[in-house]
């Protein structure tokens, strides 16, 4: 498993748990040193136990060296990052291609090379070309096997996926891929075998569709605010239709995270390059980009139109609960916009504060609890719906605050509850604001 980040480490640990012998490789020396000492570099529920058990059982190990493990492997997974390329939004494939060259130099005997990273259509062709060019004697079958796990529920998602997608051009890869996923196959998780290009596109189409669904309900929420309707009732009313489905219909501050923003953008670029623009997704990207600063304007409005010199407490920094991942978190843009408007920011997140610090302005201060964050604040803004924030003592919060303004960007509280505790309450898409 090359790349031991959110996807590589979870996949590696789960494959080991299935009984396979797995070596997780990373070029990040510190990460590997930490893993060798039993420290998990990311926050993912259950991952520390899973890694520890499989290391103890001798099925899982870590290294920075390619040659030995890749040479020995039947199947090599590429799980390195594919961030947005600075400047043009295309997926940056330099890490994938660098790994392809390293694999080419290290393989011995027939080896299945599997791209698990999210890569644009046609990348498998290029990985194959690079390997053959670097080592004409290499005997490889290059497969696409995109990953659909969600951070925060990654182990359960990996072990009980809705589907496994395998795109291959060389039939010799089919049996090893079935073997790798056999325990899931036995659990009736469907495996979709398809061509490599279709497989690559499935991942982008899935993420783009989900991003579009979130963006759709966010725009409906805005309309609800104008017409005095309740977006939660609308979501429920449409989500019960099986053709629509109730998931991903929660209005909020816009999608963020390590996947949707970069993957929607990469799909837009791929489609434009092929003369077949997907305008729905172009629009989705534009709407979502604007939404984060619009949420800051919501906060400013809730504070009476001016936040200069005011202290705003932000609850939740990570892009979603149960992860420490700060990539493209809506909190970043919201806090920046509030600071641009002259606000002072105090923040609290159950696990994300360390990861957030290097990304946020140094004037942001951090509190040890929601109640500490509320002390002396002029407004409390709930940005990430951590379970810890679902049953806060509103009375205690109110008495700690300078002015009782609650902006609930995840619709966790009810207007009635907030009002009963004396809060001026603003949420997303639930009728006319205070």
Q: Look at the chain and count its residues.
A: 434
Rounded alpha-carbon distances, angstroms, from residue 95 to 34, 78, 82, 328: 22, 10, 7, 20
- State the Cα–Cα distance between residues 201 and 173, nearest whole angstrom: 19
Residue 159 CB burial class (10 angstroms; 0-12, 13-18, ≥19): middle
Q: Does residue 30 have a known ligand-binding role?
A: no
Q: How far is the CB of 164 from ligand NAD (least distance, A)?
A: 13
Q: Is 380 annotated as a binding residue?
A: no
**Is 167 annotated as ligand-binding?**
no
φ/ψ of residue 169, rounded to 5:
-115, -15
Residues that bind ligand NAD (CB under 6 A): 2-8, 25-28, 31, 79-82, 95, 98-99, 117-118, 147, 149, 151, 258-259
Q: At closest approach, how far in Å is the CB of 143 from ligand NAD?
A: 15
For the bound state, the minimum distance from the C-beta of residue 315 to ligand NAD, rounded and expressed in Å, comes to 23
In the complex with ligand NAD, which residue's Cβ is closer, 258 or 378? 258
Q: What are residue 263's phi and psi, to 5 degrees?
A: -75, -35
Catalytic residue list: 259
CA distance 139 to 141: 7
Residue 17 annotated as lining a ligand binding site: no
To the question of whether residue 274 is assigned a binding role by annotation, the answer is: no
Say how far apart CA 125 and CA 106 lie, in whole Å. Answer: 19
Q: How far, in Å, are 81, 84, 116, 127, 130 from residue 122 at the CA level?
A: 17, 17, 14, 9, 13
DSSP string of 254-267, one letter each residue = ---SSSHHHHHHHH
| 193 is known to lie in a ligand binding site | no
Annotated binding residue 323: no
CB of 53 to ligand NAD, least distance (A): 21
Closest CB 196 distance from ligand NAD, rounded Å = 16
Q: Closer to ligand NAD by CB, 2 or 377: give it.
A: 2
Least CB distance to ligand NAD at residue 117 (A): 3
CA–CA dist 265, 198 (Å, integer): 19
Identify the sign of the CA torsion 109, 110, 114, 120: positive
Q: Residue 43 carries which DSSP code?
A: -
Q: Cα–Cα distance between 418 and 401 in angstroms, integer? A: 14
Q: What is the C-alpha to C-alpha distance for residues 410 and 214, in angstroms, rounded to an integer?
A: 13
60/364 with CB nearer ligand NAD: 60
Q: Which residue is nearest to ligand NAD (CB)?
A: 5
Element (H, E) at 114: strand 111-115
- For ligand NAD, which is the closer residue by CB, 135 or 301? 135
Which of residues 378 and 384 has its CB atom nearest to ligand NAD in the complex? Answer: 384
Positions at the binding site for NAD(+): 26, 31, 82, 118, 151, 262, 327
Binding-site positions for substrate: 148-151, 203, 248-252, 256, 320
Residue numbering of the annotated binding site: 26, 31, 82, 118, 148-151, 203, 248-252, 256, 262, 320, 327
């Amino acid at each position: 498993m090359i790349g031991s980040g959110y996807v590589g480490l979870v996949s590696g640990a789960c494959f080991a748990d299935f009984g396979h012998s797995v070596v997780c490789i990373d070029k990040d020396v510190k990460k590997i040193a930490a893993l060798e000492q039993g420290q998990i570099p990311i926050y993912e529920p259950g991952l520390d136990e899973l890694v520890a058990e499989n290391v103890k059982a001798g099925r899982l190990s870590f290294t920075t060296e390619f040659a030995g493990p890749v040479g020995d492997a039947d199947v090599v997974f590429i799980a390195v990052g594919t961030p947005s390329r600075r400047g043009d939004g295309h997926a940056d494939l330099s890490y994938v291609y660098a790994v392809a060259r390293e694999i080419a130099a290290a393989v011995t005997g027939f080896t299945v090379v599997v791209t698990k990273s999210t890569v644009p259509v046609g990348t498998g062709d290029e990985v194959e070309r690079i390997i053959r060019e670097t080592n004409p004697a290499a005997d490889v079958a290059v497969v696409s096997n995109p990953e659909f796990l969600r951070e925060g529920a990654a182990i359960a998602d990996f072990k009980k996926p809705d589907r496994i997608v395998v795109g291959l051009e060389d039939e010799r890869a089919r049996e090893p891929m079935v073997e790798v996923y056999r325990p899931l196959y036995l659990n009736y998780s469907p495996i979709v075998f398809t061509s490599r290009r279709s497989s690559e596109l499935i991942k982008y189409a899935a993420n783009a569709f989900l991003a579009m669904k979130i963006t759709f309900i966010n725009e409906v929420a805005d309309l609800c605010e104008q017409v005095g309707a309740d977006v939660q009732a609308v979501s429920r009313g449409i989500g019960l239709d099986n053709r629509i489905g109730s998931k991903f219909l929660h209005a909020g501050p816009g999608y963020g995270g390590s996947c949707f923003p970069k993957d929607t953008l990469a799909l837009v670029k791929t489609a434009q390059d092929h003369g077949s623009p997907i305008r729905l997704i172009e629009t989705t990207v534009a709407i979502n980009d604007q939404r984060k600063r619009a949420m800051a304007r919501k906060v400013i409005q809730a504070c009476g139109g001016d936040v200069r010199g005011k202290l705003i407490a932000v609850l939740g920094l990570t892009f979603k609960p149960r992860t420490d991942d700060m990539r493209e978190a809506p909190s970043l843009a919201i806090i920046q916009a509030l600071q641009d408007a002259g606000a002072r920011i105090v923040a609290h997140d159950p696990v994300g504060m360390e990861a957030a610090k290097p990304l946020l302005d140094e004037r942001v201060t951090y509190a040890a609890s929601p109640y500490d964050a509320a002390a002396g604040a002029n407004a409390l803004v709930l940005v990430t719906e951590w379970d810890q924030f679902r049953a806060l003592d509103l009375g205690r919060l109110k008495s700690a605050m300078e002015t009782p303004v609650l902006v609930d960007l995840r619709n966790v509280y009810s207007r009635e509850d907030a009002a009963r505790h004396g809060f001026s309450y603003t949420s997303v898409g639930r009728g006319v604001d205070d």
